[in-house]
Amino acid sequence: MTCGMLLDLEWEALGRSVRTRDLEAAVHVEDRIAIPVRMLPVLQGDAMGATLREVLAAQGWEAQPDGSMTRVFGGVTATLDAGAATVTLVRSADATVTATGSARVVEGDAVDEARAARAAEALAERVLAGQRAKVTARLEAENVAALTREEATVRAALQEALNRVYRKALEQRARELGEVESIDERGDVRGGYEVTVVVKA
């Protein structure tokens, strides 16, 4: 005689959930180029620097409380220092990067809960570091491209300003020596500039 048994087995599913960790970081990148300003001492003391500041103000540069002057060229800030010795081009860029790390945890298991939290944070930190490196490299490349593009424009504007400074300085110096009969200016396509002042002694 065969006996049969029917067994109903039920498996209790373990409750599993996911622990996530969100991280955020700010990325700030700043790059600069320094352009030395060299002027012949046609006038004494700070007269050359004062004349340069006067000419730059007419070109739209703004005086700052510390004695420097600034003007923005296509997203690049050009600053003439207070001593009129250097123009510094600066471009900065900012971004925010985010990352998420996750790990599964058995519900109700405190030890597993702590392990999952640590694993989620570690993963988020690794992802965040990778994101930060990528964004930093992109922002640096954008800064370099902008600085390279605007450097020529700033140098041209500075050269034009220096030409005007020399003209003013030579005229002033000539007037100190005697009566100015004539002033002749010539420029060429390469940016060369020549001023001839004739003084009647």
DSSP label at residue 9: -
Angle formed by the axes of helices 47-58 and 110-177, nearest 10°: 110
Cα(180)–Cα(170) distance, rounded to whole angstroms?
10
Mean pLDDT on 124-153: 94
Torsion of the alpha carbons at 72, 78, 81 and 85, rounded to the nearest 10: -140
pLDDT in tens, 14-58: 456 777 888 899 999 999 999 999 998 888 888 999 999 999 999
Q: What is the pTM of this model?
A: 0.73
Distances from the Cα of 88 to the Cα of 54, 55, 152, angstroms: 18, 18, 13
